Structures are given as C-alpha cells and as structure tokens.
Chains A and B, each alone.
Chain A
Amino acid sequence: MTKMTYSIPIGPVHPSIKEPIIFNFEIYGERIENVNLAPGENHRGIEFMGRERNPIQIIYLAERICGICSFAHPFAFCRAVENAVGIEVPERAQYIRVMIAELERIHSHILWAGLAAHELGFDSVLYLSWRAREEVLDLLEDLTGNRINYAMLMIGGVRRDMTANQISRIRKTLDYYKDIYGKIEDVFLNDPTIALRTKSVGILTKEEALRLCAVGPTARASGVRKDIRQDQPYSAYADLEVKAITPEVFSDKINGDVYDRIVVRLLEILQSVQIIEQCLDNMPSGEIIAEKKLVKLLNQLKKAKGEGIGRHEAPRGEVIHYVKLNESEFPEVWKARPPTYNNLMTWVPMLIGQQIADIPIVIASIDPCIACMDRVTILNKDTGQKSILTKEDLHKLSVEKTRRIAL
C-alpha cells in the first residue's frame, strides 16, 4: 500500500494556474474515497464594498471580480439595474454587447483548452493555443482599448461604437478562427493519448448535474440542456437561434466525462464565431446608449426605486446579479453570483473513485474561476493517513501518467 507523505505547508501557485490552492487529502492506495470543500482565500468582500459605491462605480468593481470573465459580471449587473429602473437599451447597443460577449467566450475557451493540455503534460499545445488566442485579444484591444477589463458597458448601453474599419477587422479575425478550428479540433479530439486520459475520467451523471444545479459547459457535457441564451434569451440573443450544445453533436453517446467537456467547449468556439457573423449581418443602426450624460443618469438612478435580476451566460455558466435600489445613491442590496459557485459541489461526485494523478485534469475540467472560491480540502477516511500535496506534485503525477500511457 503506497503512502504519500509529501508535506509542504503552503500552497503556492503553479506557474501555469493562477490561484493559491492547497490540497489536503488522505488516500487509500491510489484512489480517493471522499471529498470535502473549503474555499475562502480569495474573499475580498466585494458585496460589502458595493455598499459604498454608486451603480456606475460598481460596474468597474464588478469587472474586477474575475479577470477572465470580466465582461460577464458587468453585463449581468447592467441588466439587473436596467430591469430594476426600467431603462430601455437601444438595439445597436444590444448587438454590440452580444458581440463582445461572444469574443470573450472565444478567448476564455481557448485559454481553458491550453491549460487543460498543460495539465495533461502537453506544454507545446499550451503555447500554440495561447498564441492563437492573441488574435482575439488584439481584436478586443482594437475595439475596446484593452486586452482584459474592457470598460465597454454603461447602464443603458455601451460606451464605444464600432467603425467600418473595425468591422472589417472583425471579419478577418473570424476567418482566421474558422481556418484554425480544424487544427484545434484535430489536436484535442482526435489524439489517442488525450482520449485515454480523459474518457471515463471525472464522470458527472445527468441526474447529479440536475440535483446539484450545475451550470454552463459542465452541465451541458452531462446532457442537461441548460443555456440562458436558449432558454430565456436577452439582448440580441432573442433574435438569433442559439442552441445549447451537448456532446452528441460530435460523438454518439453522452458520458459526462472530461472528454465531453472538451468537446462542448470546442464546439462552442465555433458557435460563437457563427453568432458574431449573424450579429454583423443584422446589425441595426442608431444610438448606443439610452442616456448619454452621466450626471443625468446618476440623478435618475438616485431617484429610482425597484429591484431587478440580471442573468448572463458567461463562458463558465450562468452569472446572476440581483440589485435593489431604494432612492439613494448607493444600492440597498447587490448580490453577485458567479458560475463557479454552483459548480463547486460537482467536484465531489467527480473525484470519488479517481486516481490521484487524475486530480489536476478533473479539477480543471469545470473551468474553475477561483477568484470566487479557492481552497479544496479532500478528505479520505480509510487509511487515516493525511498528506498535503501542492499543485506541483499533483501536476507532476498527472504528467507522469500521460508518459506512461503514451508509451
């Protein structure tokens, strides 16, 4: 019976994944028997800070809840305030919002694909895919002024319009992604080693996904057709036919394993390219914001009373914000709920019975945005041995397993 006795008390960050994570678990041989969750290291008290800021300042705070989904949070927040106050967003602004959201989805999924490959040991795929991601970041910089944290949103519309030059650049970037998509799909989905490492690993059944209220690609890979862009469309999605993507589009059976999650995310990249093209073809003209002068907008919000819910399908799942305004400068209630919050509990059924070397890829497969949650303690009762492994040790184990299989 092998007993792992590495013991490093601090959980520093692995060069390739961003947040502090400490793993703390006991094992029986090589198998995990039980899992317990305990996040909290990244808790900054954002909702508490929101009590001293007016809604326009909260947009900039909400952008920095997470750097990868930095458009999703302000989008949901603006929708919540617009629903609470009753502000109508002009149609051109709705289309621009959807286009930037889909561009963000492309960059987030490619980022995830590179990191997943890195967890399996394919470092060159990490570098190649992140090089491909630079194209969409250049485009976003051209449209919005920054690679991350775009500051495009304002309550009632968007802050910047698109010129004809920018639109032709968008089309060029989309052509680039359509060309390169075949290669991405080939590298990930037709490689035998990746298939061996990811099929039947980290399975989440459909029933568990429904009971745990999983969202996003994690739920869709298990066969649950949950996608706000399809179920309760908003902004320009209401005019487009967006369907929730489940793995049977690509392969015949739905297993709910890590391979299916890769399939769903790669297919969503292609879907995003198609959505952006449809938006470009049907883009209406007109105003981009309901109320241009910020001082007037702020006065309108100070006198407003009402409550509203805003939801958005971020790359990781459903983001929901709830805002209650009560005739004062600061909102009475602001609740922000990122998608990883719901997906946290899905680690429990996914990790039970797995080998230790599979932990990195299973953990990464739900695409955790750990700026909202952070530490995972995995307990296991059988041997009574407690060991603390850091991310590097787990990563090493995962890479070694790939080498064993590939030979």
Chain B
Amino acid sequence: MENNKAEEVLKLFKEKFNNKIIDSRIETKTTGLKKNNYQVIWLQINPEDFKDTVDFLCSIYQYPHFAIISGNDKGENIELIYHFSIYYGERFKEISISLVLNLSKKNLKISTITDLIPGAQTAEREIKEMFGVNFEGLPDLPNIFLPKDFKKGIYPLRRDEKGIEKPVEKEEEVKEDD
C-alpha cells in the first residue's frame, strides 16, 4: 500500500540515524475526483551527516531522482533544501523527500554529492554563485548563469551586505525628440 511506504521509509531513516535527525514530518495531499493521495517527507539534518544521509538514500532506491536545491538567506544562516524523489516508475508510488540543512554563515561549507548523483552538478554550481556556498569536492568551473565579469564576492540571492545593494532602476522618463 502506498501509505505505508512513506512511514516505512521514515522509519528506516530514524533507525539508521536516530537522534541525528533534528525534525521530520510527512504530508499527505489528496487530488482529483476519486481523492487519491500522495506523500511528501521532510527531514532536517545536520550538515555533517548530510553525505551519509544521501548515501543511505541511494541504498534504499538505486537512482533517486534529484530535482533541485533551493536556498534561503535567514540572516545568521543559509537554509538549503535538497529535493529528491524515489520510487518513480509505477503509478502512485512516487514519494518526494526534501532534506533541509542549515549552514551557518561563518562556515559555509557542505560536501558535494556529484560523486553519488552526477546530475546535481548544475544545481550545486548555481547555489555556489548565488549564495557563495563552498561545495567541497566540486571541480572549479566557471560561472554558470552570471556573466564572467560579475563582481566577485557579490551573491545576488543573499539578503545581507553581500547581496545586490540596489536593483537596477526602472527606466527614467526620458523624452526623445522623434
């Protein structure tokens, strides 16, 4: 049954990591006329245990689907959420798993997962240039979205002094004689 799978998966995580999991919850969403449902698991862990968690996830299901990393500047730390999903391939069986990490701004480092999941390279490069997070083990590649001559040390999606100071102004009211 689909319902048990999400709880089973969460139980496996808790058995392996028990008190290293800071927070967890399962959300169930219903859709359609027939009111079927699907589930989303949210897990919050420490950055040090992150690589082991992803390793464990790959052992539960061989090729987890990696979707994206979303980042949020919360002032003292930067919260990264890795969105995965497993058990795709059969109707109604897919479960989304989101791993939440909090990185302190004084120590913006996290290990890369491109050796386990090569498809994560684009996402890690984007977070590196948008937030300034250092991914240990990621090869040093040029900027992926920002121009090459973008100012170093400025990270557009940050909200502190390292973000963009002032957005580009709206066009001035210029009268052209034509």
Q: Do chains A and B touch in the complex (CB under 8 A)?
A: yes
* Chain A residues engaging chain B, CB cutoff 8 angstroms: 38-40, 43, 45, 47-48, 52, 83, 91, 94, 210-215, 224-226, 228, 230-239, 241, 244, 282, 284, 309, 311, 318, 320, 322, 324, 332-333, 335, 337, 341-342, 344-345
* Chain B residues engaging chain A, CB cutoff 8 angstroms: 27, 29, 31-34, 36, 38, 40, 62-63, 65-68, 70-72, 81, 83, 85, 87-96, 98, 117-123, 142-147, 156-157, 164, 167
Given contacts A47-B157, A226-B88, A231-B92, contact A210 B63 (CB under 8 A): yes
| A212 and B118 contacting across the interface, CB-CB below 8 Å | yes
Neighbouring B residues of A40 by C-beta, 8 Å = 143-147
**Minimum C-beta distance from A369 to chain B (A):** 15
User: Roughly how many angstroms separate A171 CA and B20 CA in the complex, as a whole number?
Assistant: 57
| A322 and B147 contacting across the interface, CB-CB below 8 Å | no
**Minimum C-beta distance from A378 to chain B (A):** 15
User: Roughly how many angstroms separate A226 CA and B145 CA in the complex, as a whole number?
Assistant: 27
What are 9 A-B interface contacts by the 8 Å CB criterion?
A: A40-B147, A45-B156, A48-B164, A213-B119, A231-B88, A233-B91, A238-B31, A239-B34, A342-B122
Count, A-B residue pairs, CB within 8 A: 128
Given contacts A40-B145, A231-B88, A332-B72, contact A94 B119 (CB under 8 A): no
User: Roughly how many angstroms separate A13 CA and B17 CA in the complex, as a whole number?
Assistant: 53
Given contacts A230-B91, A322-B70, contact A236 B147 (CB under 8 A): no
User: Roughly how many angstroms separate A235 CA and B40 CA in the complex, as a whole number?
Assistant: 16
| B122 and A341 contacting across the interface, CB-CB below 8 Å | yes
User: Roughly how many angstroms separate A91 CA and B32 CA in the complex, as a whole number?
Assistant: 6
| B67 and A324 contacting across the interface, CB-CB below 8 Å | no
User: Roughly how many angstroms separate A64 CA and B146 CA in the complex, as a whole number?
Assistant: 20
- A374's nearest neighbour on chain B, judged by CB, is B145
Neighbouring A residues of B156 by C-beta, 8 Å = 45, 48
Neighbouring A residues of B90 by C-beta, 8 Å = 230-231
Given contacts A40-B144, A324-B72, A345-B121, 7 further A-B contacts (CB under 8 A): A43-B146, A91-B32, A94-B31, A210-B63, A211-B63, A212-B118, A213-B117
User: Roughly how many angstroms separate A210 CA and B25 CA in the complex, as a whole number?
Assistant: 28
- A39's nearest neighbour on chain B, judged by CB, is B144
Neighbouring B residues of A335 by C-beta, 8 Å = 68, 70-71
Given contacts A233-B91, A309-B40, contact A341 B72 (CB under 8 A): no
- A95's nearest neighbour on chain B, judged by CB, is B33
User: Roughly how many angstroms separate A214 CA and B31 CA in the complex, as a whole number?
Assistant: 26
| B89 and A231 contacting across the interface, CB-CB below 8 Å | yes
